[in-house]
Amino acid sequence: MLLDGKHILVTGGTGSLGQKVVERLLTGELGTPAKITVFSRDEAKQHYMRVRYLNRREVTDEVIYRNFKELLTFRIGDVRDYSSVLQAVSHADYVIHAAALKQVPTCEYFPYQAVQTNILGVQNIVRAIRENQTSVKKVVGISTDKACKPINVMGLTKAVMERILVEANVDCPDTIFALVRYGNVIASRGSVIPFFLDQITNGGPVTITLRTMTRFLLTLDQAVDTVFAAMLHARAGETYIPKVPAARITDLAEVLIGDRDISIQEIGIRPGEKIHELMVSEEERYRTIERDGYYVILPMLPELQVEPLAEPALNSEFSSSDVTLDHESLRELLAPYLSELPAGVAA
């Protein structure tokens, strides 16, 4: 299998996605790695993540290796620091680049910090591979729907990150650089669902920025599925897009509130926030094909175009404004999170 005997580096491995990636890598679904390295700058998160795995005494469906103490390692470092990136990359066979500043308002108030992490960070990974004899076979970068026709700093920096990884294929022919792009991950750290659940638990009101706002929704496992699909099948410069549903944020709040006597309060758009998100733009759709249940955006650079473009998979842009989830569908999707609400009036 792909990862048998390989060394996988996960930057930002203590984040919501990073932890789920590590959990899934440990199941062996892509093969039995020789080593998985979590690379991040937060020693506290690494400590708690390490302790969590050390306390798993029994073999479970999630962690099947008794030798995970040797399999799973942690490295303190910052993607902004080239020397620490070089040390982390030097022995890796595959890199999953999840390290990022991702909170939209934070990036608006600290734009250069977003540039340093989201742009200079990925450039350090590319430079480490380009200027040294590494064994890296593939890098999969984690992007966001906010990088598609960006209007905020987070999206702008992620859009440049995408371009850096695509172009790297020209300079580093022995390594494949690919991307995944997706929307809001349900219940990830800093996402809206934990925020709404906290407001409901405390009696409300539930605050939304705009009643017409829509978002794509996918689970952490769907996000990891997309990453793994890119690891397995992505060619140089390609971007994998999951086919996921979209919902109105108002409907999301209403389903979580259920029959509780809690109001919804509109507070206005936050700095840098979009009303609707795009996964594939009108311009990109002409370079978008379908493969294995995913949309795949082919690279725009002619050096990376390996075959003639077939009929585009999309007739228009892939936008969250095309709402596909009603209350019933949302209730089914959110069932695990509805159970976290306090007992009382039925939801």
What pTM does this model have? 0.91
**How far, in Å, CA of 40 to CA of 346, rounded?**
41
3-state secondary structure of 285: helix
Q: In this structure, are residues 230 and 165 in contact, taking their beta carbons and an 8 Å threshold? A: no
Cα–Cα nearest to 24, from 235, 220, 185, 191: 220
Q: Which two tokens stand for residue 247?
A: 């919902």
Please give the positions annotated as active site: 146
The one-letter code for the residue type at 279 is M
CB burial of 155-191 (b: ≥16 within 10 Å; e: otherwise) equals bbbbbbbbbbbbbbbeebeebbbbbbbbbbbbbbeeb
Percentage of the chain surpassing pLDDT 90? 74
**Average confidence (pLDDT) over 72-80:** 95
Q: Which strand (E) or helix (H) includes residue 277? A: none
Residue keyed to tokens 């996964």: 279
**How far, in Å, CA of 34 to CA of 269, rounded?**
47
CB pairs under 8 A, 24+ apart, for 286-294? 286/312, 287/312, 288/241, 288/312, 288/313, 288/314, 289/313, 291/233, 292/229, 292/233, 293/229, 293/243, 294/226, 294/229, 294/240, 294/241, 294/242, 294/243
Q: In this structure, are residues 153 and 114 in contact, taking their beta carbons and an 8 Å threshold? A: yes
- In 10 A of CB 107, how many CB atoms? 27
**Average confidence (pLDDT) over 67-89:** 89
CATH topology (fold) of 7-183+219-243+278-314? Rossmann fold (3.40.50)
Q: Higher pLDDT residue, 157 or 345?
A: 157
Quote the longest CA-to-CA distance of the chain: 62
**pLDDT tens-digit profile of 105-145?**
999 999 999 999 999 999 999 999 999 999 999 999 999 99
Would you place residue 338 in the very low, low, confident or very high pLDDT band (cuts 50, 70, 90)? confident
**pLDDT tens-digit profile of 186-218?**
867 667 888 888 899 899 899 998 999 999 999
**How far, in Å, CA of 131 to CA of 144, rounded?**
28
Q: Which two tokens stand for residue 55?
A: 């306390």
Cα–Cα nearest to 297, from 221, 234, 219: 234
Residue keyed to tokens 């064994």: 135
